[in-house]
């Protein structure tokens, strides 16, 4: 029979501390959901409420149309199996004995295993790769081996739904992926419903179809990985600045930490505009981004490495078609960004007839009274493929009051920007 779980306005408190407040969600047969959230956000507590290990303070959990308190424990154990954290035993059972405990909801009052029980135990041990450990005492197992034996016990229970609390936490990368792929194949082939509490956002994104992000006792965001794993949500909940990149194989959002939000404080609150191209602005772009500066860039050719970096960092930028000279329209847009910026940096780009306008654009910063930093390393003469016109423009920029910088430009620019008092 298809499984149906409804969590309605669930509230739970440990004494005076409310840990879950108004949690509502529904689950059907074959769903695969991930519960994510920072440490202490109530993920384990939520799972324990679903497994009837804890009793809700308010609201209710309805399984197959019947509220949890009305379920007999043995019947519930045929519908849900919990793979908890630190499910340990005080006795040194063998792996096989422990996995066989998963059969208790099916045993008669004499507790003897029938052939189908033995078959379920063997299958579960094979699936989780612990058949060869079956005679070993569980005290002698490594953390990873014990974790797999605990999963085997839950699989031996042959329920249509598994609730797992950080099942990958003791596993190395190989076993993590193996376990999650096992769950995925059971989910796809046998429509096993999976509720996974998981720390690792990237694993959650790859394997779960729906995610619920818990924060401050509530569901802060729920939906597909794309809907939940956004830069804004993660900044708010984990106080971390991240980049979100699609996984190269399946396009699922992957979270790449950039810096703790607290690290991203600097005095310079205005936008810094970078003029670059051909990768000349990339090191500075990355460095200033990590330091929390708001950036824009232009004019960059679509497909060039500065363009790719700016795009990954989500910067405001002016783009030009690949291998095309900068058009008057793009130049104008670049001037607009320069005019509204708090400071402008001209990266050490290679100068050719097609991008001379990028060097000319820098004059607009001087005209507008904006600080202009010119990274002249290597010196303009060695980068000039425009018959000396580039070098000439650099000389005039210097005369016009631009700050020329060579060497460790990033630190110097950061220091100079930070010294500018907010206007």
Residue 83 and residue 396: Cα distance in Å, rounded? Answer: 71
Q: Residue 306 gets which letter from DSSP? A: H
Q: What Å distances lie between residue 162 and 34, 55, 90, CA to CA?
A: 12, 19, 24
- 212 part of the interface to ligand ADP, by CB under 6 A: no
Q: Closest CB to ligand ADP among 16 and 249?
A: 16
Q: What Å distances lie between residue 197 and 194, 213, 305, 314, CA to CA?
A: 10, 10, 38, 30
Peptide bond into 378 cis (omega under 30): yes
Q: Residue 125 gets which letter from DSSP? A: H
3-class secondary-structure state, position 117: helix
3-class secondary-structure state, position 126: helix
Q: Closest CB to ligand ADP among 98 and 162?
A: 162
Binding residue for ligand ADP, selected from 39, 112, 135, 423, defined by CB under 6 A: 39
Site for ligand ADP in 149-168 (CB under 6 A): none
**Residue 47 Cβ vs ligand ADP, minimum distance, rounded to whole Å:** 8
Nearest to 193 by CA among 183, 203, 201, 202: 183
* Neighbour count for residue 32 (Cβ, 10 Å): 20
- 323 part of the interface to ligand ADP, by CB under 6 A: no
343-346 and 210-215 strand pairing: unpaired
Q: Closest CB to ligand ADP among 36 and 138?
A: 36
**Residue 239 Cβ vs ligand ADP, minimum distance, rounded to whole Å:** 16
Q: Closest CB to ligand ADP among 203 and 344?
A: 203
Binding residue for ligand ADP, selected from 23, 31, 44, 183, defined by CB under 6 A: 44
372-375 and 80-83 strand pairing: unpaired
**Residue 151 Cβ vs ligand ADP, minimum distance, rounded to whole Å:** 18
Binding residue for ligand ADP, selected from 5, 19, 380, 417, defined by CB under 6 A: 19
- 273 part of the interface to ligand ADP, by CB under 6 A: no
- 86 part of the interface to ligand ADP, by CB under 6 A: no
Piece of 42-50, 66-74, 372-380, 402-410 that binds ligand ADP (CB under 6 A): 42-50
Residue 35 and residue 198: Cα distance in Å, rounded? Answer: 6
Residue 212 and residue 23: Cα distance in Å, rounded? Answer: 10
Q: Closest CB to ligand ADP among 195 and 413?
A: 195
List beta partners, residue 297. Answer: 274, 317
Binding residue for ligand ADP, selected from 2, 40, 69, 400, defined by CB under 6 A: 40
**Residue 221 Cβ vs ligand ADP, minimum distance, rounded to whole Å:** 15
Peptide bond into 299 cis (omega under 30): yes
- 310 part of the interface to ligand ADP, by CB under 6 A: no
Piece of 1-9, 26-34, 40-48, 374-382 that binds ligand ADP (CB under 6 A): 40-48
Q: Closest CB to ligand ADP among 14 and 385?
A: 14
- 42 part of the interface to ligand ADP, by CB under 6 A: yes
Instruction: Please report how the helices 305-312 and 282-290 are oriented relative to each other, as an axis angle in degrees rounded to 10.
Output: 20
Separation of first and last alpha carbons in the chain: 67
- 14 part of the interface to ligand ADP, by CB under 6 A: yes
- 49 part of the interface to ligand ADP, by CB under 6 A: no
Q: Closest CB to ligand ADP among 23 and 402?
A: 23
- 423 part of the interface to ligand ADP, by CB under 6 A: no
Binding residue for ligand ADP, selected from 43, 206, 273, 383, defined by CB under 6 A: 43
Residue 223 and residue 230: Cα distance in Å, rounded? Answer: 11
**Residue 412 Cβ vs ligand ADP, minimum distance, rounded to whole Å:** 43
Residue 285 and residue 219: Cα distance in Å, rounded? Answer: 35
Residues that bind ligand ADP in the complex, under the rule CB under 6 A: 14, 19, 37, 39-45
């Amino acid at each position: 029979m298809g499984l149906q779980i409804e969590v309605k306005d669930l509230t739970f408190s440990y004494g005076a501390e409310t840990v879950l407040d108004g949690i509502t969600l529904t689950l059907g047969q074959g769903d695969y959901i991930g519960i994510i959230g920072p440490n202490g956000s109530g993920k384990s507590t939520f799972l324990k409420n679903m497994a009837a290990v804890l009793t809700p303070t308010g609201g209710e959990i309805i399984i197959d149309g019947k509220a949890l308190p009305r379920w007999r424990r043995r019947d519930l154990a045929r519908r849900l199996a919990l793979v908890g954290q630190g499910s340990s035993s005080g006795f040194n059972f063998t792996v096989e004995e422990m996995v066989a405990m998963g059969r208790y909801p099916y045993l008669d009052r004499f507790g003897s295993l029938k052939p189908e029980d033995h078959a379920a135990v063997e299958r579960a041990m094979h699936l989780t790769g612990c058949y060869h450990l079956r005679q070993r005492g569980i005290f002698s197992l490594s953390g990873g081996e014990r974790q797999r034996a605990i999963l085997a016990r839950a699989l031996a229970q042959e329920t249509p739904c598994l609730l797992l609390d950080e099942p990958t936490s003791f596993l190395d990368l190989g076993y993590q992926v193996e376990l999650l792929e096992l769950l995925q194949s059971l989910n796809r082939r046998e429509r096993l419903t999976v509720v996974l509490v998981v720390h690792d956002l990237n694993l959650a994104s790859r394997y779960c179809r729906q995610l619920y992000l818990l924060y401050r006792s509530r569901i802060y965001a729920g939906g597909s990985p794309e809907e939940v794993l956004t830069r804004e949500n993660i900044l708010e909940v984990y106080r971390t600045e991240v980049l979100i990149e699609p996984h190269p194989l399946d396009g699922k959002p992957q979270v790449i930490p950039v810096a703790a939000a607290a690290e991203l404080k600097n005095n310079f609150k205005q936008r810094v505009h970078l003029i670059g191209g051909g990768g000349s602005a990339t090191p500075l772009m990355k460095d200033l981004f990590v330091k929390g500066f708001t950036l824009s860039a232009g004019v960059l050719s679509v497909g060039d490495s500065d363009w790719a970096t700016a795009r990954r960092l989500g910067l405001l930028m002016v783009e030009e078609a690949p291998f095309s000279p900068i058009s008057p329209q793009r130049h104008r847009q670049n001037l607009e960004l320069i005019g509204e910026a708090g400071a402008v940096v001209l990266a050490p780009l290679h100068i050719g007839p097609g991008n001379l306008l990028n060097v000319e654009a820098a004059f607009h910063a001087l005209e507008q009274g904006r600080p202009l930093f010119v990274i002249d390393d290597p010196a303009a003469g060695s980068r000039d493929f425009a018959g000396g016109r580039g070098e000439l423009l650099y000389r005039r920029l210097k005369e016009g009051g631009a700050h020329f910088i060579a060497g460790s430009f990033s630190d110097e620019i950061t220091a100079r920007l930070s010294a500018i008092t907010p206007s």
